[in-house]
Amino acid sequence: MRHAVRGYGLWQIVVVCSEGVRMILTIYGATIVTLMMLFYAFESRSHWFTLAFAIACLGSAAYGFLAGTWPFGVVESIWSLVALRKWQVVRLR
């Protein structure tokens, strides 16, 4: 009877690393979306929250592209541009 060799083969290492990367990406996505919601909720308090919202939208776009959901990344990039424009207008008032 052959004894099973304990340890990781190359494929198992790739799968384990891939799962770790997915977990980090998931945590990043959840964090950035939470920040987006908070900054959006506080936009009326200061124009700096509008800028923070625009930056968080860029972070969310990065998440979308990294996760392989490019339409989400495109939409979030557009939202970032809209928020930056809003920040410029509100800042000058």
pLDDT digits (tens, 9 = 90+) for 45-78: 999 999 999 999 999 999 999 888 899 999 999 9
Q: What span, in angstroms and rounded, lies between the C-alpha atoms of 87 and 74? A: 20
Predicted TM-score (pTM) of this structure: 0.79
What is residue 93's DSSP assignment?
Answer: -
What is the tens place of the pLDDT at every residue in 18-45?
Answer: 777 888 889 999 999 999 999 999 999 9
pLDDT tier for residue 14 given thresholds of 50, 70 and 90: very low
Q: What span, in angstroms and rounded, lies between the C-alpha atoms of 14 and 93? A: 53
* Contact between residue 77 and residue 63 where contact means Cβ atoms under 8 Å apart: no
Asked if pLDDT for residue 15 goes beyond 60, the answer is no
The percent of residues in the chain predicted with pLDDT above 90, rounded, is: 62
